[in-house]
Structure 1
Amino acid sequence: MPELPLPSSNRGIAVVSLGVSFVALGLKYAAYATSGSIALYADALETIINVVAAAGGLWALSVAELPADTNHPYGHHKAEYLSAVAEGALVVVTAFVIGDEAVHGWLHPNPPKAPWLGLGLNALATMVNLAWGLIMLRVGQKRRSPALVAGGQHVLSDVWTGVALVVGVTLIPLTGWVRLDAILAGLLAINVLRVGWEVMRESVAGLMDEAPEPETMDEIRAIIAANGKGAIEAHDIRTRIVGAVTFLEFHLVVPGTMSVNTAHDICDRIEAALRASMGSTLVHIHVEPDTHAKREGIVFWKGPAEACPAPDALPDTGAHA
C-alpha cells in the first residue's frame, strides 16, 4: 500500500493536523446543531481542544526544529514536551466542562431532535479523525516526536468516544431513555480526563529526563558491545531522550599504552553505529586508562590490560555484558 505524500518536517505535519482538526470541529458542531444532543455537544467541545492543541503543537514543533544557539547549546527539542503538557492540561479542563454539561443534562433532560442527521455527521468526523490519528501516531513514533505522538493519541481517543457516542445516541430514540444522552456525556468526560492525565504524565517524564525503557537501554548496550573491539570495558552508561534526539554518555576504558588515534577510532566506530541505529544521537565518551577499569558494565577484555590485543587482532565475538 503506497504511503501518503506527507510533509517531510514535523512542522508540516502539525500544519496538516490543524487543518484536519478544523474539519472535524465543523462536522461535529454541525452534528450538535442539527440534533441538540448534549453528548454530541460534549464531543464538539472536546474537539475545540483538539484545535487549540494542534495550534500549540505547531508552535512547539516550529521551536523544536530551530538549530542550537548560544542560549540553547543542546537545541530546542524540549519545546515539544511543553506543548504536550499544555495539551494535557487543556484536556483535563475540558473533561470538567463536559462533566458539568452532563450533570445539567441529567437534571434537565431534553430529547435530541433529528438525531440521525447528527449521528451521520458525527460518524463522518470520526472516520476523518481515525485516518489522521493513525497517521500521526505512526509518523510520530517513526520520527520520535512527543508532540506528534501526543497529538495522535489525543485524536484516536476522540475516535473511540465518537464510536461510543454514535452507538449510544442511536439508542436514545429507540429506547426513549432521554437521560442516556447525559450519561454518554459523563462517560466522555471520564475518558477525556484519563487521556489528559496520560499525556501529562508522559510529557513530565520527558521534561524530568526520565530514563528510557529497558528495551532501549538493552539496544544501546548491545550496539556498544558489538562495536567496542579494542577497548577493555564501557561503564557508567547514562542516557536520556529529548524529542527525536538521544543524549548518551559513558566511560570507555582502553589500555594505557593505546595511542590517542586508536582510541579515537574506537569511539568513532561506536558513535557511528549508535547513530545508524538510533537516528539523531549526541554521544559523549570519556576515555580512561586501564587503571580505571571497574570490571563492570560492558567488559570487552577480561585478561590483564597489558595482554589486551590490538583492535585488528581481536575476533568479532562480541563482548560480555
Structure 2
Amino acid sequence: MIAAPDTSPPPAQERVDLRKFAWLSIVAAILTITLKTGAWVMTDSVGLLSDAAESTVNLVAAVVALIALTVAARPATERFLYGRAKAEYFSAAVEGLMIFVAAAVILVTAVERFLNPRPLENLGMGLVIVVLASLINGGVAVVLLRAGKEHNSITLRADGKHLMTDVVTSAGVLLGVALVALTGWERLDALVAFAVGVNIIVTGIGLLGESVSGLLDKALPDEDHDIITEVLRRRTDGTVTFHGLQTREAGQQKYMNVHVLVPDDWTVKRGHDYIEGLEDELRECLPDLTVLTHLEPISDPASYEDIPEQHVPIHGDDHDPTRPPGNPLA
C-alpha cells in the first residue's frame, strides 16, 4: 500500500525566548543602582547622582522590556491574528520617554548645584565604584546589542543602546569628577551633570524615532531588500516575472507581498507549486519572513494596473514595471 504524500505545512521556526536577556538587564540595573547610589552618598557629587538616576531609568526600562517581550512572544489568536510582535515597539517608546524624565531631573539638579556648589568628598572610592558599575553595564550592553541584532528585537537593541549610553555617561562623569579633584573648581561637577542630561535626551529622541517607525510599518532594511530582489531576479525570465514588492516588519517578524506574473495557460496547481517553491527559497534566505503573493496572468493589461504607488524596485531603475522583462506586451 502506497502511503499518501505528506501535505502538512512545514513546522514553524522555533522562537527564541528573549526574556532571559531582559532579566539580565534587570539584575544589572539593580547592581548598578546600588553601586552608583553608594558612590553618590559617599561623594555628594551631583554628577554621580545623575548617573545613578539614569540607572534607575534602566531598571524601569528593563521591567517594561520584560513585559513587552512576554506579550510579543504570545501566539496568534482569533482576536490577534498576526500575533502581538509590535508590543516591542511600545517598550522602546516607554524607554525613550523614561529617558526624558531622567534628563529633566538631572538638568534641574545640575542647575541648582551650579548655583550652589558644594565640596566633594571621598572621590577616590566613589570613582572606583562607578568604574565597577560601568564595567557591568558595558558587558550587559554588548550582550543585549548582539542578541537584538541576531533576533531582530527592537526591545533588546533599545535596552542595549541605553546601557551603552549609560557607560558613556559614566565615563563623562568620571572625567568631570576627576577634574574637580585636580582643579578644585566645584561647579565643573554641575556642568558635567548638565552635559549628561543633554546626552541622554539625544538617546531618547533616537529610541522614540525607531519606535514610531516600527509602529508605522517601516519597510525592511536595504540589506533585506537586496536579498529578496536577488531571489526574484534569479527567478525572472521571459515567462515569469514580478512587480509590486512591498515589505514591513513587526518586532522579530518580517513581511513581504509581491505580484507574481505567470503565463496565461498555467493551471492553478502549476502556479501554486511555483509560488510554494518561491516562498521556500525566500524563507531559506530570511527565516523570519512571511511571504504573501498575488498570482496574475503575464499578458493581461489589468495585471499592470494594480501596482502599488510605493513599492520596492525589483529589476532596476531602467525597467518599466508595466512591462514584463524579456516579453514586452504588444
Which region of structure 1 is more displaced relative to structure 2, 138-147 or 215-224? 215-224
| Superposition TM-score, scaled by structure 2 size | 0.86
Equivalence for 1:74: 82
Asked if residue 252 in structure 1 is aligned to residue 260 in structure 2, the reply is yes
Whole-angstrom CA distance in 2 between matches of 1:203 and 1:222: 29
Q: Over residues 11-42 of structure 1, what are the superposed CA-to-partner deviations in whole Å (9 max), with x where a residue is unaligned?
A: 12111211111111111111111111000001
Asked if residue 50 in structure 1 is aligned to residue 58 in structure 2, the reply is yes
Whole-angstrom CA distance in 2 between matches of 1:34 and 1:298: 72
Asked if residue 36 in structure 1 is aligned to residue 60 in structure 2, the reply is no
Q: Over residues 105-163 of structure 1, what are the superposed CA-to-partner deviations in whole Å (9 max), with x where a residue is unaligned?
A: 10110121101111100010001111110110011011000100000000001111111
1:117–1:299 distance in 2 versus 1, CA, 3 Å: farther
1:164-243 → structure 2 map (5 Å cutoff): 164-227=172-235, 232-243=240-251
Counterpart AA for 1:142? E
Shift of 1:299: 7.9
Counterpart AA for 1:167? L
Whole-angstrom CA distance in 2 between matches of 1:137 and 1:297: 39
Which region of structure 1 is more displaced relative to structure 2, 32-41 or 292-301? 292-301
Does the Cα contact within 8 Å between 1:232 and 1:302 map onto a contact in 2?
no
Whole-angstrom CA distance in 1 between matches of 2:78 and 2:223: 34
Whole-angstrom CA distance in 1 between matches of 2:86 and 2:235: 30
1:167–1:79 distance in 2 versus 1, CA, 3 Å: same
Counterpart AA for 2:134? T
Does the Cα contact within 8 Å between 1:233 and 1:297 map onto a contact in 2?
no
Structure 1: gaps of 5 or more residues: 1-6, 306-321
Shift of 1:300: 7.2
1:12-161 → structure 2 map (5 Å cutoff): 12-161=20-169
Counterpart AA for 1:14? A
Whole-angstrom CA distance in 1 between matches of 2:55 and 2:322: 50
Which region of structure 1 is more displaced relative to structure 2, 258-267 or 152-161? 258-267
Equivalence for 1:277: 285
SS of the residue aligned with 2:118? coil
Shift of 1:296: 4.1
SS of the residue aligned with 1:63? helix
Does the Cα contact within 8 Å between 2:220 and 2:254 map onto a contact in 1?
no
Shift of 1:93: 1.4
Whole-angstrom CA distance in 2 between matches of 1:281 and 1:34: 53
Q: Kindly tell me the number of residue pairs found equivalent between the two proteins.
A: 300
Does the Cα contact within 8 Å between 1:231 and 1:252 map onto a contact in 2?
no
Percent of pairs with identical residues: 33
Equivalence for 1:303: 327
| Superposition TM-score, scaled by structure 1 size | 0.89
Whole-angstrom CA distance in 1 between matches of 2:321 and 2:211: 30
Does the Cα contact within 8 Å between 2:235 and 2:241 map onto a contact in 1?
no
Shift of 1:8: 4.6
SS of the residue aligned with 1:269? helix
